[in-house]
Chains A and B, each alone.
Chain A
């Protein structure tokens, strides 16, 4: 399937793209647009104003996606809290990792050449974050 989002991807869009590839559509292809009018007809838009998969009722797009695709996994919920705070910074959750994730991704976006490269580099970050939160859930504490 094809998926479309705004170019210049940061935390919510990199996290959503990772989520899509890993849990929703392994063959996902991403298109990055500068204007909502550029979204191809056969692509599912996300994290754009006025589309279904976007910010909703105070949730960030990653949270909207978990609800929409019924992904009920405690490690993903933990990532959702972190992404929410990194994206919205509204202190709805206590997620101290958020500030670090935001800074790392902002820095990455300054050195990459394209949104595709940004996806390639941020993917393993979320793989690691997922593994960490997954083990934390299993152990009932933060892994050392």
Chain B
């Protein structure tokens, strides 16, 4: 079982100032759920979408006066890949835990404003799912907590 999957890597360097473009790039990378290999080197499992998204970010970097290049790569050992996967899984795991906690506290309170909480949490779940390449156990927990909130609201509407 030593076969490793392909990765697409973005190597980039941006001027420290102005901080605007740095922050915009960082936000986009975070949204995509990249693995941070080193300062200025990030990666995602290789597929057409991930490659394209990183290519557009490389353009943003170039436009902001930085340097960027895109590479596809294979980790030479399965252990190296496991390490990346573990870090990515921990990051999304934390995000799922936050959703589960919000859903539980909303379900505990009841009240009309939680209908909006439910839509917000569903959107957040969908966002996390799109960058969840190595699903952690927390995923099911978060989905169950959001479903329970939906059920609590339905029960309240019927009562």
Measured CB to CB, the residues of A under 8 A from B are: 8, 10, 49-50, 55, 88-90, 99
List A contacts of B126 (CB < 8 A).
Answer: 99
How many whole Å from A29's CB to the nearest CB in chain B?
A: 24
How many whole Å from B98's CB to the nearest CB in chain A?
A: 18
9 contacts between A and B (CB under 8 A): A8-B48, A49-B55, A49-B56, A49-B59, A55-B56, A88-B56, A89-B31, A89-B130, A90-B31
In whole angstroms, how far apart are the Cα atoms of A88 and B57 in the complex?
Answer: 11
List A contacts of B48 (CB < 8 A).
Answer: 8, 10
How many whole Å from A14's CB to the nearest CB in chain B?
A: 13
List B contacts of A55 (CB < 8 A).
Answer: 56, 59
Residue of A nearest to B55 (CB): A49
Q: Is the CB of A49 within 8 A of B130?
A: no
How many whole Å from A28's CB to the nearest CB in chain B?
A: 22
B146 adjacent to chain A (CB < 8 Å): no
Residue of A nearest to B27 (CB): A90
List B contacts of A90 (CB < 8 A).
Answer: 28, 31
Kindly list the 9 A-B residue pairs having the minimum CB-CB distance in the complex, ordered from nearest. Answer: A49-B59, A55-B56, A8-B48, A49-B55, A55-B59, A10-B48, A89-B130, A50-B59, A49-B58
In whole angstroms, how far apart are the Cα atoms of A88 and B59 in the complex?
Answer: 14
Residue of A nearest to B28 (CB): A90
How many whole Å from A16's CB to the nearest CB in chain B?
A: 14
How many whole Å from A87's CB to the nearest CB in chain B?
A: 9
Residue of A nearest to B126 (CB): A99
In whole angstroms, how far apart are the Cα atoms of A8 and B126 in the complex?
Answer: 25
Within 8 A of A (CB), among B31-59: 31, 48-49, 52, 55-56, 58-59
How many whole Å from A54's CB to the nearest CB in chain B?
A: 8
Besides A49-B56, A88-B56, A90-B28, 6 new A-B residue pairs in contact (Cβ under 8 A), listed by A number: A10-B48, A10-B49, A49-B58, A55-B59, A89-B130, A90-B31
